[in-house]
Structure 1
Amino acid sequence: MRQLLAILFFLSYSALQAQSLEEINKQLESDIKQINYWYYEASANSKYDSLEAANIQFEKHLLKVLNNNPETLYHNFDTIIHTVSSPDKKLRAYSWDTNMGGTMRDFQTVFQYQTKNGVKAEKLTGKDNEPEDAIYWCNAIHSFKTKQQTIYIAVIYAKLSSIYSYTTVLFFTTENDSLTEIPSLIETDENGDTPGIEYNFLSTIDNPNAPDELIDFDPKKFILRFAKTDDDGNVTNSFDSYKFNGEYFKKVN
């Protein structure tokens, strides 16, 4: 009898934790509407505390539903929030504009990933395991396999001003059932910096010479490419290419 009651309690608890995708959509849509509402209120009446609270609530709800509902890893949320997935569909990024920035936009990104025991979702953490206040938007996720593990390449984007933007990559693994950011695997330049592109965003608009993707990856050739810019920060149709040699991406041109 006790065993039966325990099973019934577990099933009831699980039902309360899980939500239908329709319910999840409605909840997240409502949260986004609150962010947009308080954005206009903040602009008109300086209600910035309420805008921040709306973002905190959205992030809290998002992490909860992603952790408690494994099917969300494959669900289409594109009408609510920007999502990109890895080719193997085991890692996904959810990015949104908090509307708390000025011309330098404030983005937030949550990652969801497949583990051996289910699905997890989290924000990256910085020093002392404190949540990292990243201002980037995840634009794409590529992947490749080494002898030891699958490595994911997240293409991230930050808006620095009304004109200038920046894009680079982060490397991750999901080994040991945790999302781990690993040090850059790209050969640094003469200044010791990891490649990235600071560019004039306007140069990518209605420009037939601008590439569709400023950073791309060829999984068959293991080549990662970064678009070049001219002296004024305008994007060109030339690339710097880096080929993975088994240990890191080495510049080949």
Structure 2
Amino acid sequence: MKVVKLFLSVICLFAVTFAFAQKSGVIEKNIFNSYIKVQYWAHTESEQSYDSLEKANDNLGNLIKTYAIKYPSTITAPFKSLPAGLTVSTAADGLFRIYSWDRLTGGTMHFFANVFQYKIGDKTYALLDQPLGEGVNGPFYHKLFTLKAENKTYYLAVFLVIGSSRDHLRGLQVFSIENGKLNANTKLIKTKSGLHNFLSYEYDVPDDVDRDVDVSIHYDNVTQTIKFPLIASDGKFTTKFITYKFNGQYFEKVILAK
């Protein structure tokens, strides 16, 4: 009798898993097609193309937000076949995810939009973050790291802001889920001016694209350190790096011995 019950449990589990896999595939396809419409209107020249592009972006954002809330399991769905320009970053604990995409509404300046999906207990929530206004370009989140300390969990989101073909800004922003809400202003980084929720640096894109320059910001989960290149006052790269290490309370700049 126990064997039969175990067999039935396995069958039910398989059926549920298979059903979600099918649903997940449909959701991914719909999101894919929605962003394809954004790309289509971005490359179409007509009187109504700009309005259609804005509408396509709004539709995409609302679609992702709706799916994120209605189908909680999407927070860990693989979504491996989404088109270039639409990135999904997921925390290791499966409780936080960021969908980020290029709205393709600018020229050399890029405007990005994001959907933040997070889970508290059995409920899943989602927030749609659109550009704040004309000429204001937000970040493109493309990596998400998890830091656990003193029974708290922090999410370190690596981002890129593109002001022009040469003017770029990279950084790392700290998020947390507390008091039943997503906190995008978690101040965990200590600098000379006090505690902040992010680190960032601006730079000029190198003229030589083949130049062996690491322009990225990195996080090492083992040593709990943030590392990024030192940028000179003229926006050019140096050969030095800046490191911030977590000391149990916050990240603080590491002072190297002379």
**TM-score normalized by structure 1?**
0.78
In the alignment, structure 1 segments of 5+ residues that lack a partner are 1-18, 128-132
Which whole-Å CA distance do the structure 2 matches of 1:82 and 1:118 have between them? Answer: 23
Which whole-Å CA distance do the structure 2 matches of 1:187 and 1:178 have between them? Answer: 23
SS at match of 1:144: strand
- For residue 219 of structure 1, report the CA deviation from its aligned partner: 2.2
Alpha carbons 1:203, 1:235 under 8 Å: kept? no
User: Which of 196, 199, 210 is the aligned partner of 2:203?
Assistant: 199
Which whole-Å CA distance do the structure 2 matches of 1:176 and 1:30 have between them? Answer: 36
Pairing 1:236-251 to 2, within 5 Å after superposition: 236-251=238-253
Query: What one-letter code is carried by the residue in structure 2 that aligns with 1:188?
Result: T
Aligned counterpart, 2:19: none
Alpha carbons 1:152, 1:171 under 8 Å: kept? yes
- For residue 44 of structure 1, report the CA deviation from its aligned partner: 4.7
Query: What one-letter code is carried by the residue in structure 2 that aligns with 1:123?
Result: L
Moved more, 44-53 or 97-106: 44-53
Query: What one-letter code is carried by the residue in structure 1 that aligns with 2:93?
Result: D
Aligned counterpart, 1:105: 110
Pairing 1:165-244 to 2, within 5 Å after superposition: 165-189=168-192, 195-202=199-206, 205-208=209-212, 210-211=213-214, 214-244=216-246
Alpha carbons 2:224, 2:245 under 8 Å: kept? yes
Deviation sequence 1:214-248 (CA, Å, 0-9, x none): 21122232221222123442334421111222332
Q: Which has the higher strand share?
A: 2
Change (3 A) 1:87 1:239: farther
Change (3 A) 1:79 1:57: same
SS at match of 1:24: helix
SS at match of 2:206: helix
Alpha carbons 1:109, 1:134 under 8 Å: kept? no
Change (3 A) 1:23 1:154: same
- For residue 176 of structure 1, report the CA deviation from its aligned partner: 3.6
Change (3 A) 1:190 1:122: closer
Pairing 1:142-161 to 2, within 5 Å after superposition: 142-161=145-164
Which whole-Å CA distance do the structure 2 matches of 1:120 and 1:204 have between them? Answer: 44
- For residue 53 of structure 1, report the CA deviation from its aligned partner: 0.8
- For residue 160 of structure 1, report the CA deviation from its aligned partner: 0.8
Aligned counterpart, 1:96: 101
SS at match of 1:196: strand
SS at match of 2:32: helix
Matched, 1:48 2:50: yes
In the alignment, structure 2 segments of 5+ residues that lack a partner are 1-21
Deviation sequence 1:99-145 (CA, Å, 0-9, x none): 11221100111111232113222135999xxxxx7621002111212
Alpha carbons 1:137, 1:157 under 8 Å: kept? yes
Pairing 1:51-66 to 2, within 5 Å after superposition: 51-66=53-68
Which whole-Å CA distance do the structure 1 matches of 2:171 and 2:75 have between them? Answer: 24
Which whole-Å CA distance do the structure 2 matches of 1:223 and 1:79 have between them? Answer: 32
Which whole-Å CA distance do the structure 2 matches of 1:62 and 1:21 have between them? Answer: 12
Q: Which has the higher helix share?
A: 1
Which whole-Å CA distance do the structure 1 matches of 2:177 and 2:111 have between them? Answer: 26
Alpha carbons 2:175, 2:185 under 8 Å: kept? yes
User: Which of 160, 163, 167 is the aligned partner of 1:164?
Assistant: 167
Q: RMSD of the TM alignment (CA)?
A: 2.9
Q: Identity over the aligned pairs, expressed in percent?
A: 28
State the number of aligned residues. 228
